[in-house]
Every structure is written in structure tokens, then in C-alpha cells.
Chains A and B, each alone.
Chain A
Amino acid sequence: MTVQPGQCNCAAESFTERDVVAIVEKYGREQDQLLAMLLDIQEASGSSCVLREWAAIVAREIGLPLSKVFEVLTFYSMFSTEPRGRYLVEICKSAPCKMCKSDEVVAMFEKELGIKLGKTTPDKLFTLMHTSCVGACDIGPVAKIGEDVYGDLTPEKVSEIVNSYREKN
């Protein structure tokens, strides 16, 4: 089973209003820190997203219309308003990686995770998706998980990488 849009996941449920307010306060309730706040919320939520209810808290706390927060959330592709996995597995789809057969890397992850591209694993740990160039063409095709970039991938290596994240939880 994969997470459907609008369906809340467990990680999201444990992330509360208090957590959102704490992040807003960390940035001094400054409107121009909106991006940083939203990124922190997305990271801390455990569901790699900013739900409407959290956006509403941010809007209220920093005195912006909710629509403005929504505008920012939809402008940047790094944000999602729908729950995703705790870890985003992003495969580069730009030309250099594509030519080095990034599709095969996608297939490796699909097999290892048991999901199709664009979907989330039932344990809500991983979402498999595409990304634009991350600037590591020399080791392409690459995969990016969080801030870590992996290249020169083989099915064995993929399995090892995925397991290392599984073990963290």
C-alpha cells in the first residue's frame, strides 16, 4: 500500500502544533525566514511535507495570509503539501545521468523498495522520485537521499544504501 494524497501518515500525527510553533520561534517569527521555517517543518515532520494545518499555524504566527504561504509552498519543487516518505530517494533525470542509463538506477530502487517511481513505501520510510541535476555528473547516474549523493550504483550497492536508512529507524 502506498500513501494516497490527503491521507495522513503516522509520522505526521506525532508532529504537533507545538513543534511548528517552536520552529517558527527559532527563526524569530520573521516573515523573511518563511522558507527556512517551511524547510525545517518538512524535515522535522517525518513525512517530508508541509500539511495545510501546519502552514496555517505558520501563517498565523508570522502574520501572513495562508494563501501567501501556499504560494511559496507550491513555487518551490522541494516542498510537498502531501505526505511523503521520511527519506526522499531522488534519481537524477538530467541529460548526463539519463545518458548513463539512470532509468536502470530507477529500476534498481524500484526493485529494492518494492514500489514504482513517484510512490511511497508502505512503512512510509521512502518516496522514490526524480530530481534535476545535483551537479555530480562524474559519478552519474546518481541518486540523492537527503543531503547525501550516491553514484556508480549497482543493485548490491542500492540494497546496501537502502538498508543503511532502514537501520536508522
Chain B
Amino acid sequence: MQPDCKNINLIIDGVPVSVPEGTTILDAAKKVGVKIPTLCHHPDLKVRATCRICVVEIKGQRKYKTACSTEVWEGAEVITNSPGVQQARKMVLELILAEHPQACLGCLRNTKCELQALTAEMGVANKNRLKKTVKVLPLDDCNGAIVRDASKCIQCGRCTEMCQEVQTVGAITTANRSMSYDVTTAFGKKLRETTCVYCGQCTTVCPVGALYEHDDTEKVWAALADPNKHVIVQTAPSVRVAIGDEFGLPAGTFSEGHMVAALRRIGFDKVFDTNWSADVTIMEEGHELIHRLTNRGVLPMITSCSPGWIKFIETFYPDMLPHLSTAKSPQQMFGALVKTFYAEKAGIDPANIVSVSVMPCTAKKIEAARPEMNDSGYRDVDIVITTREFARMIRRKGLDFCALPEEHFDDPMGVASGAGVIFGTSGGVMEAALRTVYEVVTKKELHALDFKAVRGQQGMKTAEVDLDGTPVKVVVVNGLKNARKILNEIREGKADYQFVEVMCCPGGCVGGGGQPVGTVRKTKASRMEGLYTADHKMNIRQSHKNPAVISMYKDFLGEPLGEKAHHLLHTHYTPREQQ
């Protein structure tokens, strides 16, 4: 709280309470132990106050006020749950339910749906007096990453806010008026005919089952059931600090051991780690940066790990593609190496390998499906599942996640450095790169490994690093609105950075579009802490010191940026039309 911030005294349900000026009734009520129901409200998004479920009574006022959008004032007397208020809320809910299919059992969000929970809380189920007027609208499930089931939409507008204001992608919008008011795309097209980058942020804020990930778990079960297939799995850094949420662990719990055990019980032949290939990414991307710095290459160089971000720059800033590092993302590097390096080492025909990845991200599904991602001679990554789908598999398998023993990844693609672990948070790729680039350029040991200036959830973080006399200016952005700002600055020649890290989702992968439902800013902070703590505990915290990476280069790849590395680990980008 600011020292000059005034406190406001008010009474909520007969209980006096004092809160800082500017607090909403919704938040003030929490202080006296009252949870006012919400639907369109999301703690990380701008207040819309369109659903009206949070109405409260104010003593002396005839009209009810929406608690989410009304700030407290001195002497206010709020009644949060009078019979009249209950009646009004029930009416709101009944109106929504009259248009809702209520096909809960078959819905992916069953038991994780805000509308369902509210209906149970308010005792409205089966007592709806209104005639059902459910609109059956076509299901948009053809893009392979995000499914939009408009029939279930309650028009709260959270996804619109996320897509338009936070991500500035502009794929989802509100349209029409009154009875026909709708959340849709421009001209009602399918998502793949819009500017959608598949970041999946809309799926994390949707209170119901109108937007969700394309479920690929059946494909994984089928591969696991095929005795002729050697099914390997890789897990992204941020999954291990998020999967615990699904099983009641406190936010940010580092549950790598349980996660590995669960994957083995599910039946994967090998459980590997994307952190390993994150280290490989640093080798390639780090050397690419040095190459650009010393050979007057295109600067600033921008990271290329985040596939939603890649689709964004391809769509909105195609002229700036030369700034992107040509290094593939860790997921794709892993995929290319598992069907070459690992297949060779293990003596397995790559044609029989099924490469699965567990990602915090819906855009990773699209990345794996990009036509050029087959440098191994096969699909580098065959199936991508999100953290949410992984949790579903654990449940289906009947595993008690928290009771599982803690196990370790398999060799050799399961050995990673602390630099690989922090790839899961905004600033992590930058920090990992600097830890390696510094030593490669200066030939000196780096003692202070923590680059705290690039950590945290701020949308834009800058730092200057001294590479033995050569200052390197870096900037880290997360969330596409911030990416847009930096790109505009670069385009206008106003930015003098040499290296830029961009992560598509606010907070980075810890807040990815495939992470458990209910991920908010606070959750992301805990996950970041979980990753940095894990990094801190590791003996090896720099990618170029990872023995499994060193030996892989020695035995298989040769030099970073070498011919083989170039063929397997680098890629190109495609300018895309906006409409």
C-alpha cells in the first residue's frame, strides 16, 4: 500500500471494514469473509461488469450495484446477500442457463466450470423457470490447437479482452447487439481463418467450456498401446511447477519427481526432459548471437522458442523476420534429435519412435505440425499434449499423483542444467543465454549467475551486460502487447538492444495457454519461484557445462552452428497474410 493512500471505512453485512481507497466492493467483501459470486470478472483482466451476477444492495439506494466494478466509499453500507439480491442473482443465472446446453457430463470443463459451480452454490439446477432457448452453433475444432464451442459461450467477454487487449491478436471479438450479442470472430470465420496465433490464453480465462485445448490424449493412448512403437516423452520446464495444481499441491510446487514417475506409470518407454534440449537451444542461439554480434548480423536478435510469438511476428511483422533467431525451439530441437541422435544411440528405427511432448502451450501443437518440422526425416514431434491433458491422463490411469515416488529422468536426454529449468519463465531464456554467452565471449568464468533484472512478471524488463568491455543491451518482454511495443520501437529505429527475449504469454510459459485452469498472476509468481529455486539448487547451472550436451556435440552434432546442427536444429519462417 502506498503511504499516502487513504483508507476507506465501510460496513459490509454489518461488519465494519477498512480498505484502501480504490478497492472494489468485491475485494473489500473478501476481507470480511464474504465471497461475492462472479462470472465475467477475472482478476488479471480489465473489469467489464457485463454479467451482473455480482450485484449487491447498498443501504439507502434503490438500485443494486455490481460489486466487481464499484469502488468503496466512506460510510457505505453494503448488503451482499439480501433476499432481493439473491433473487436478482438467480434471475441472471437462470437467464444464462436458459441459453446454455448444460451438457456437463460430456464437457471437458466438467467439475472445473465456473458456471457449474455457481449453479450448484445458488441452488438453481433443475429449478429453472425459463424456457430453454439453446442455440446450436457449429463447433470449430479444425485447427488442431484450440476448440471453440460457441454453443456453450456465456458472452462474458473475458476471451475478447484477452485476445484484443492483452495479446492484441484481435481474433475474437464481440459482435451484434441486444438479443443477438455474441462473442465470435470477424465474419464468423473459423479460428484458422483469422489472425489467431493459438496462444490459448482465451482457454485459460474462459469460465466455461466454450474455448479449450484440442485434446490429443487418445492419440497418445493409442501409441502406448501399440507394441511396435517406442514411445518417448519430453516435458517442458514449466510443466513440473504447474501439474501439481491439478492434484491439490500448493501453487508452484516443484513436482518433477512425481511427474516423471507418473509418465513412467502411464507407460512411456523413455521419459526425457525438454530442459536438456533447452540447453542445446542455448548452445545454438547463444552462438548465433555471438556470430551476429561479431559479423554485423541483423540485430537485435530475437528469441524464437515461443510458437505463438512466431505466428504473431509472421502475421503482423513479416518484415522483421530476419531479427528472429533461426534456432528451433527446445521442443523441436528435441524432436529432431530424438529421431536421429537417440535413435542411432539406442539402435531403434526412428520410424518406430513416437515422440510425444508435454507442454504448457496450445501453440506447441501447431508448431509440431508445421510442414518444415521434419528435418530428422520424420515428424520431429508426433503428438503434443498440454499440462491439462497430461493431468487428464494421470487421472484416467488412476494414479494418485502425490503418492507416487519421486523418480529421475532417463539418460541421456534427461540431464539438464539450471539454465534449462528457467526456460519456463519470462526472462529465463535471456538469463540462460547470458550465462553461456558471457563465458564463451570473455573466456572468463562467470561468478554471479543470477541476472535478477530480467526476472519477474513485469511486461518489459531491460538490462545491460558487460561482455569484457563490450556492453550488450538486452530486453525481455512477455505478453504480445509488449512484444508489439518492442517491435514498433525496433522498426522505428528507436531501440538499441542487441538481444530480445519474447514470450507470447503473460509471465512466460508458467502462464502458458495449456496450463491448469485457474492460473492467475499469483500462481505464476509461485511457479517462477519454483523454477528459480530448482535452478539455484543445481550443481550445473550453465548450458555449455551440461555433460550430456557436451557429449552429444562431441559424438554426434559437432560444433554449434555446424553443418549438422544447422540442418537439424535451425529453421526458417514464413510471412503470413493478416486476413
Residues in A lying within 8 Å of B, measured CB to CB: 52, 55-56, 59-60, 65-71, 74-75, 77, 81
Q: Mark B153-181, 1 if CB is under 8 A from A, else 0.
A: 00000000000100001111111110000
Residue among A55, A66, A74, A77 making CB contact with B170, cutoff 8 Å:
A66
A59–B195 alpha-carbon span in the complex (Å): 13
- Alpha-carbon distance between A68 and B171 when the two chains are bound, in angstroms: 9
A70 contacts which chain B residues (CB < 8 A)?
A: 173, 175, 186-187
Q: Is the CB of A65 within 8 A of B176?
A: no
Residue on A with the closest CB to B163? Answer: A67
B185 — which chain A residues lie within 8 A by C-beta?
67
Contacts of B195 in A (CB 8 A): 65-66
Whether B176 lies near A60 (C-beta < 8 A) is no
From A59, A67, A74, A75, B164 is in contact (CB under 8 Å) with A67
Q: A52-B187, A60-B579 are in contact. Are A68 and B170 (CB under 8 A)?
A: yes
A149 to chain B: closest CB distance in Å? 25
Tell me whether B374 is interfacial, beta carbon within 8 Å: no
In the complex, are the beta carbons of B579 and A67 less than 8 A apart? no
Q: How far is the CB of B48 from chain A (nearest CB, A)?
A: 15
Known: A65-B171, A81-B187. 11 other contacts (CB 8 A): A55-B186, A65-B170, A65-B186, A66-B194, A66-B579, A67-B194, A70-B186, A71-B173, A74-B177, A75-B175, A75-B177
A71 touching B187, Cβ below 8 Å: no
Residues of B near A52 (CB, < 8 A) are: 186-187
Q: Which residue of A lies closest to B174 (CB)?
A: A71
What are the residues of chain A within 8 A of B171 when measuring CB–CB? Answer: 65, 67
Contacts of A71 in B (CB 8 A): 173-175
Instruction: Count residues of chain B with CB under 8 A from any CB of chain A.
Output: 17
Interface positions of B from 441 to 490, Cβ below 8 Å from A: none
Given A59-B579, A70-B175, are A65 and B187 neighbors across the interface (CB < 8 Å)? no
Interface residues of B, Cβ cutoff 8 Å to A:
164, 169-177, 185-187, 194-195, 578-579
B194 proximity list for chain A (CB < 8 A): 66-67
A163 to B265, CA, bound (A): 81
**Which chain B residue has the least Cβ–Cβ distance from A57?**
B579
In the assembled complex, the CB of B152 is this many whole angstroms from the nearest CB of chain A, namely 20
User: Across chains A and B, which 3 residue pairs bring their CB atoms closest together, nearest first?
Assistant: A65-B170, A67-B173, A70-B186
- Distance (Å) between the CB of A57 and the closest chain B CB? 9
Chain A residues closer than 8 Å to B173, beta-carbon distance: 65, 67-68, 70-71
Across-interface contacts of A77 in B (CB, < 8 A): 177
Set of chain A residues within 8 Å of B186, measured between Cβ atoms: 52, 55, 65-67, 69-70
Please give, as numbers and ranges, the residues of chain B lying within 8 Å of A56 by CB-CB distance. Answer: 579
User: A70 CA to B579 CA in the complex, in Å?
Assistant: 12
What is the distance, in angstroms, from A13's C-beta to the closest C-beta of chain B?
19
Cα–Cα distance between A56 and B171 once the two chains are bound (Å): 13
Residues of A contacting B172 with CB < 8 Å?
67
- Chain B: which residue is nearest A69 at the CB level? B186
B265 → chain A, closest Cβ, in Å? 44
The answer to whether A74 and B176 touch across the interface, beta carbons within 8 angstroms, is yes
Best-surrounded residue of A59, A65, A75 (most CB of chain B within 10 A): A65
Task: Give Cα distance in the complex from A59 to B172, angstroms.
Answer: 15
Which residues of the partner chain A approach B175 to less than 8 Å between Cβ atoms?
A: 70-71, 74-75
* Bound-complex Cα distance A65 to B172 (A): 10
